[in-house]
Amino acid sequence: MGKAETRAHLARADRLQGQTGALATAATAAMEEKLPWFRGLSAQDRSWIGLVAQSGITAFVDWFRDPEEHSSMPTRIFGSAPREFTRVISLHQTVDLVRTTIEMMETAFDDLLPADDVPAVREAMQRYAREVAFAAATVYAQAAEMRGAWDARLEALVVDSVIRGEADDSVRSRASALGWTGAAGTTGSAEVAVVVGRAPAAEGNANVADAVRHAAREAGADALCAIQGDRLVVVLGGTSKPVEIVQRLAHWFGPGPIVVGPVVKDLMAAVTSARAAVAGLRAVPAWPAAPRPVQADELLPERSLSGDGHARRQLATEVYGPLTVGEGVLLDTVSAYLDSGGSIEATARAMFIHANTVRYRLKRVADLTGYQPLNPRDAFTLRVALALGRLLNPEPGNPVL
């Protein structure tokens, strides 16, 4: 560029700079006229957006004056906005702002600049607009990356608090910040259940938390997810049927069993579900034929054998206890049935009663405990429950401790 062309270009830049105030005012007016959502923002947010627009116009003038010296200017125009800027408006809305401002400026050039200046300024504006678009995308990408990393740490902290039994109002607040509603989902339920399984391989767990949350949301439930060492922990909310939800999430877990803790009333009580699920994962190898997923309460005998005191008390209280009422005839009958190898006839002979009486009493056992003595798996649970009940409460007919 010769000296004459340089002087002409600088003069054109001076004339453009003299109109920056008018352009900024016109940009704000265009936003209010063409963007309904802009009018709905608070005065402070509109002020910040106006400041960004003015910064962009000023930056364009500096870049137009000397593109080489100010080559990084398009990427710096968002520096005047606070960090919360990306939370106030979306990337799509930012694109609308840039488009509206550029259209306004291209129209205003005809009124504010000499006719000879307009073609060169418009051409420069087209090049500058592309750089601004890339800059906006970069700002939102960085914000999403930072927010994603922070959310992942916060989510891991919430899940760890649930597992450790330290859930309180602060945990509820943190969960709410992650999108946990704590309200009834599409199933009409607000209950919570904790799910524990093996974590996927390291190369496959980068996006597992996002995938689990998305799949749970599609199924009508809330989900918090964290990888703790070699296990994947998911806290499900808003469903009274967590097993059905987990069946849709199972492929995101690593190979091996998945244990679903019992449903509890809310996040504050989730430690009960978490404790049962963790104990179940530890004990499930003792039942090779366990379904996937398996409920923690289906593993009560294995959990008892592995040292889970809660499972022992649950079997003694909820299974053995009801059988001791009255004269203990149900306890004697199911005990004789199990000792006879599951033969109704042998039980009847040993107790000097009719076989139909045995059948009636075994049905009563199933009604009271939820375990059917004629089912081999349930019979195993009953045998363990009887052994535990006798250990914890050696006097039949007395309340189980």
List the domains of the chain with CATH numbers.
3-146 (1.10.490), 183-297 (3.30.70.2730), 309-392 (1.10.10.2840)
- Residue 331 has a CB neighbour count (10 Å cut-off) of 23
- CA gyration radius for the chain? 35
Torsion, Cα 308 314 320 323, to 10 degrees, reads -170
pLDDT in tens, 185-195: 444 446 899 99
Contacts of 366 (CB under 8 A, 6+ apart): 372, 373, 378
- Which residues, in sequence order, are CB contacts of 291 under 8 Å at separation 6+? 298
In this predicted structure, what is the pLDDT of residue 139?
A: 59
**What is the reported pLDDT for 121?**
85
Q: pLDDT tens digits for the chain (401 residues)?
A: 567 788 888 888 888 888 888 888 888 888 888 888 888 888 888 887 787 778 778 888 888 888 776 555 445 555 545 455 555 666 667 777 777 887 888 888 888 888 888 888 888 887 877 777 676 666 555 555 555 555 566 677 778 777 777 766 777 777 776 677 755 444 444 689 999 999 988 655 657 888 888 888 888 888 888 888 889 999 998 888 899 999 999 998 999 999 999 999 888 888 899 999 999 999 999 999 999 999 999 999 999 999 999 999 999 999 999 999 878 899 999 999 999 999 999 999 999 999 999 999 999 999 999 999 999 999 999 999 999 999 987 555 444 44
pLDDT for the residue 369: 95
CA distances from 334 to 228, 374, 386, 388 (A): 43, 10, 9, 15
The pLDDT assigned to 1 comes to 56
Q: Let me know: does 373 contact 341? Beta carbons within 8 Å.
A: no
Maximum alpha-carbon separation in the chain: 123
